[in-house]
Structures are given as structure tokens and as C-alpha cells.
Amino acid sequence: MGPLSSIDPTAVAVWVAVIVLFALIALLRVALKVNFSVLTIVALVLGIALSLAFNGDVTSLNLLGNIYINLITALVAPLIFVSIISSITYVGNLRKLRGIGLRSVGWLMLTNLIAIVMTLAVAIPLHIGSGVKLVNDEATAGFLTSQTAPFDQVVLNFFPKNIIGDLSGNRVVPIIITATVLAIAIVSVGRKRSVDIVRGFFDQTKDVIYKAVGYVVELTPYAVIVLGATSTAATTSKADALLALLGILLLGFALNFVQAFLVNGALLALVAKVPPLTFFKAVLPAQTAAFTTQSSVATLPLSIRQIGTIGVGADVANFTTPIGTTIGMPGCAGVWPMLSAVFTINALGLDYGPAAYVGLAIIGLFASIGTAGVPGTAIVTATTVFTAVGLPVQLLVPLVPVSNIVGMPSTMANVSAAVTCATIVARQTGEFDDDALRRARSAGRHRVPAAAGVAGVAGVAVAGAGVASVASPVAFAAPAAAVASPAAGATRVAGVGGSAIGRLSLSTSTLSLHRSDDDAPVPIGACGVADHATAA
């Protein structure tokens, strides 16, 4: 037997096909200039087709999918930590910070409450689960119960006990609390003495992290091919087990899509005063990544980046969106737990009155606090709700395959709610850039740049029709100096302390930054940029 005898021919064929598809994506991007949102959707379709072509035998691709998830997840904790400190020290207003925090939690909880009420209003009249026989699997139920924690432990877990451990474990709430406390301390000390060195350190560290995030985000279309293929394979492999539960599966998909697009679209139009179509065009890559990775945390860098392109300020984008990975989460902590509960209640023939359902809704709402934005969260949250209301946890076991599949649109709904709430909070706190929104609407597209990073820029002089000082908490890293050239229809920006010369091109439809070593257009509003110009 030679060394090649152990090679799986199917796996080789799958990898060859993936390489060809990667080349196709690169061609669409470089030669045809297909924008990032469309490219991501194309990648998802190609991934599904790849899985179907090989009858779901694409397990060899799990390696690539896991590498992407690990790379993007590794940047989440430092991204949150440094961004929050940088944003708060830039704002320097604790009253404003308190307003952002309270509004963020309030809107995130409200989106989950809407999801809970909507799910109960639809599932109860449909008598979902009636006549279905559920298997009583006590052994597996014991494992599910072990994944939950008592309420006092949930509250305790909100608070940091070891910042290194919190960062390595991607524990979002403790990271946010630690970063907020440190930032408030920096602001307080800054009233008495200079803390420019400390602020500069976090600003420059943020620049480096966002540059790294830009590199990884650029891999998203390629990763979506792989994740789309493996997700499709996992779904089709469970087809037999899902036939009996087809009703709850379809309803789970439908409710999550309604929550993601219709409910959030209404909130955007009525409260944030943002056109839903423009918004969803911008966040489509984040929604697609959430659908395929089933991880709000892994999607976080892309979420923050995309809402910046439509005008959400850095202070809000870097604060509200991370909180949305652990509070609210209407898909995994709203739709699925309520759907599972109603399904089980009807399957057991229990007599549940209006008061009991109100209690179920309240428990579901508070169970959403501290929910982890990682794959598998929905079934754990459902277990918490079942335990709290006294439903037999073992009857959740037959729903696990469905939960794994509904987790895809559930995560998309979670991410959609987080970015929607960030947009609303930005509007209500004056951190929304309407000029960026108008540019997005007129351009009609949102392009994520190649090798794009983010850096803090303050006090850059921009010469044009007049002279203005642009103070921006977050802007794309391109060390430059400003040189006006209004006759050419563009304003050149040149700054201090950089060898690369950048050009800031201004026109009625686009605003993009070019560098001599990177000609990819960069949306200035990305990553929560809010440009404020004041007369010099």
C-alpha cells in the first residue's frame, strides 16, 4: 500500500472545486468589481451548490471554515476592549455615555420583547406541536440542564474577575465593564493632568486592530463558500429527523426573517429615520456571515464595520453592537425558546392560560440577559426557560436538530437587531451622520475595502472651498497631509507622520480614500466613522 492509498478522492475533488470557486470569487471582485454584499450572496449560493454537487460529503472543508471563525473570533475581545476605551475617552462626556448605555440596553431588550410577543401571537393560534409525540430522553436532558446557570450565577458572570481570562474567553459583558471603568478613569484623571500618552496608546492600538480586522473581513466571501457548503451538508444529513418537525422548522425560519427584516425595518423607518432598503444593503454581508457562522460574536467586526458606512457614529457602533451579542438577541433568546415552549405545551396537552403565557414571556425576556453569542445558544436559552417554568427539559432533546438549523436565521435576526438598535441609539444621541447616509443612498452600494484598517484622526485640516477642521473618532488608517486641489474636483489630504501619501476624493456621490499602496476605494464612514466639520 503506497502513501497515496489513504487519500480520499472525494475530498481531493472537493478541494479542487473550492479552489476553482475561490478563483471565481477573486475574478468577480478584481475584474468585474462586484461589490461586497453581492459577492457574499454569490458565495453563499456557490457553497450550497458545492454541497449538493457532492451529496453533502464536504466534511474536509471544516478545517477552512474553522480557521476563518477562529481568526475573526480572536480579534473580537481586543476589538471591543480597545474600541470602547478609545470611544469613551474621545467623547469625554460621562452623561452622554450613560445615555448611550441605557438606550442600548433598552432597545435591545425591546426587540427581544417584540420577538417574544410575535412568536406567541403566531404559535398559539396555530397550535404548533399538537398531536406530535416527543421522545422522553432523560440522559441527554441532564446534559442540557448542566449547560444552564442559576440567575445569581448569571448576574455574577456579568462582572469581571480576571481581565486576561475574560479576554481569552471572549466574555463580552465583563470586557465591556472593564473597558468602561478604565475609560471613565482616564477621562476623570484627564481633567486634572494630561493623559495624552494613554489616549494615544489606545488610539494607535485601535488602528492596528482594525487594520487586522480589515484583513480578515476581506476573507468573508471565500469563507462563506466553505461555511455555506458545510452548513448545507449538516442540514441535509438531518432531513429524516426533521420531517416530523417540519412545522416548527418552517415557522422558526419565517418568524426570524420577519423579525430580521420587517420588524427591524419598521423600527429603522419610524424611529431611526433610516431607509430600510439602504440599511439592509449595507449590513447584508454581516447578516450573511451570521447566517453561515451562527455566531454573533464572530460577526461582530463585520457588523461594526458595515453600519459605519451608513453613518452610525463610532461611539455607538463600538458600544451598542458588542452589547447586542449578549443582551436581547431576539432570534436565539426570543423566537426559539417561545416556539419550543408552545410546541412542547401543545404536544403534552397542557392547559396553559393567558396568565401562564405572560409569565412565560417575562421569563423569556430576562433569560435573554447574558446570552452568549455563539453557536448552540438557542437550545441553552430554551433549556433555561423550560427549567424556570417547569416544563420537562428532556422533551427538548428531539428539537435539538431543528434548533441547530433554525440557529442560522436566528443568529441573523440577532445581528440584525444589534445593528438596528445601534442605528436607533446613534440617531437619538446625535451620533448619526446624515451626510454618510445620503452618500450611501446616492451611491447605491457599499464596498468593503481590501486591506482596510481604521485609525483615529483628529484635527486634520481639509482645504477646499473653505478651511475646516475634521475631528473624527475613527477613520481609515492612511497617514497623510492635506493639500487642496478644488479645481480638479477633489480635495487632497496630507498629514503628519506617515510615509504613505493618501488622497481624499470628494464628489457628490462617493467619498473614498486611496493610497499609493492600496488603490481599493475605502468608505470613509466605515467602522462607525462620524466626520464633524467646524469652521477653522
pLDDT at 80 over 70: yes
SS (H, E, C) 257-312: HHHHHHHHHHHHHHHHCCCHHHHHHHHHHHHHHHHHHCCHHHHHHHHHHHHHCCCE
CA distance 170 to 517: 34
CA distance 427 to 321: 14
447578516: which residue's cell?
287
CA distance 173 to 77: 11
Of 258, 288, 243, 289, nearest in space to 402 by CA: 243
CB 286 within 8 A of CB 137: no
CA distance 70 to 298: 8
* Structure-model confidence comparison of residues 297 and 110, the more confident one: 110
Delineate the domains of the chain, giving CATH numbers in brackets.
59-444 (1.10.3860.10)
* Structure-model confidence comparison of residues 517 and 218, the more confident one: 218
CA 93 to chain centre: 27
Instruction: For the chain, count helices (H), then strands (E).
Output: 22, 8
pLDDT single digits (tens) 106-148: 999 999 999 999 999 999 999 887 776 655 544 444 444 444 4
pLDDT single digits (tens) 363-383: 888 877 755 555 555 666 777
CB neighbour burial string for 464-490, b if at least 16 within 10 angstroms, e if fewer: eeeebebbbbbbbbbbbebebeeeeeb
pLDDT single digits (tens) 319-349: 888 888 878 889 888 898 899 889 888 887 8
Q: Report DSSP state, residue 331.
A: I
Q: Where are the alpha helices (DSSP H) in 370-399?
A: 377-389
Within 8 A by CB and 6+ apart from 104, the residues are 316, 319, 320, 323, 324, 421, 422, 425
- Taking residues 467-489, report their average pLDDT: 33
H or E element, residue 534 = strand 532-535
* Structure-model confidence comparison of residues 112 and 95, the more confident one: 112
CB 329 within 8 A of CB 107: no
CB 334 within 8 A of CB 368: yes
- Taking residues 54-83, report their average pLDDT: 81
Kindly state the percentage of the chain with pLDDT values over 90: 19
pLDDT in the model for residue 37: 65
